[in-house]
Structure 1
């Protein structure tokens, strides 16, 4: 998490994407290991979690420990935008890394329902994961902030009760995936809520 936010602040977008590219299916690398434990494949793939399913646009409510306070949020996955292989290759420094892969960007509509205003950038979307045909994709840091309809988390310090924002996460998934699933939990080791979308 610290690496993720620091990288977004100090590096050019393409460099961030190149450094943050992770293997589909969950292979670890040095940069990934510096991220939050929830990004570790052993946490997100091998550890069983209780899961409940919602329809696209439906919401769940959860409490998230932000910097100095616990905030209650209403969270709903609105849609997933799937890119093309050609578009994906432009996002990474080495196009070979993206061979056979496409971007999948989950749009999460999130409302601050209770608790103090944020004193730092939000953590609420950091437990969002994208699965394609049952396998977790590879997180692509820095791509979602530039996607149409997505807001930059670095602009949301001071987020207060009643405000709604759309935060996104982008993962790399295999081209031609038939089923895409967005998963979110209020904490790293908590039970997950999922939303299913058709592939492209």
Structure 2
């Protein structure tokens, strides 16, 4: 099945970045990511003492372990939000077709490292990075399709044609968020789970 984000990338010209029509704080068809105020941890058998059972807030530099249903089956990943890159308002306006839509906003690119820890080897492009979303002060931003693939240090998941246990890849997502936000949150949600949340200061 062709995923939503894949279809959008194939449809948009390479040189033109399309601003998703999702308004800040709105929802789309990604996993049900929730803000820290509404997210809760589910119980799991034998959770690691240093990690939430399923979802929850994590400290900067702290990794999580979650599972995701890829095409060949359920894969266990170690996930770490390494950093966020924040642009200026002027830079954000240059990256969208209608600069007025980026007024008062900045681009935030979240760098998330995934390490294959268990389950089948992947023989096609992974979808695990699609579960990454960016929030600001508890509100979800608007995704900018196609921006992250060109960011330094980011890999395009569609270039990953095989992935074995022990191997790591860094995938990025770029969102527009309010320039005056105090904090930026990186959310990643495992299959049938709650979001893991890393919080970074904005600026």
In the superposition, the TM-score normalised over structure 2's length comes to: 0.83
Structure 1 residues without counterparts, runs of 5 or longer? none
State the distance in 2 between where 1:153 and 1:9 align: 14
- For the 8 Å contact 1:21–1:140, the answer to whether it is kept is no
State the distance in 2 between where 1:107 and 1:45 align: 19
1:193 equivalent among 192, 196, 201: 196
How far did 1:19 drift? 5.3
Describe the superposition over 1:118-174 as per-residue Cα deviations: whole angstroms up to 9, x where unpaired.
132111121111111111111112111111111111111211111111111111100
1:125 equivalent among 129, 143, 167: 129
Structure 2 residues without counterparts, runs of 5 or longer? 41-54
- For the 8 Å contact 1:14–1:91, the answer to whether it is kept is no
Q: What is residue 174 of structure 1 aligned with on the other side?
A: 178
In the superposition, the TM-score normalised over structure 1's length comes to: 0.85
1:2 is aligned to 2:6: no
Q: What is residue 43 of structure 2 aligned with on the other side?
A: none
1:89 is aligned to 2:90: no
Q: RMSD across aligned C-alpha pairs, in angstroms?
A: 2.1
Write 1 or 2 for the structure with the bigger share of helix: 1
State the distance in 1 between where 2:78 and 2:159 align: 19
Q: What is residue 11 of structure 1 aligned with on the other side?
A: 12
2:70 equivalent among 66, 70, 86: 66
1:134 equivalent among 126, 135, 138: 138
Describe the superposition over 1:28-73 as per-residue Cα deviations: whole angstroms up to 9, x where unpaired.
6xxx5xxx343xxxx4459943152111221111111001211110
- For the 8 Å contact 2:121–2:163, the answer to whether it is kept is yes
Q: Relative to structure 1, is the Cα distance of residues 97 and 44 closer, same or farther in structure 2, using a 3 angstrom cutoff?
A: same
State the distance in 2 between where 1:18 and 1:83 align: 17
Q: How many residues align?
A: 187
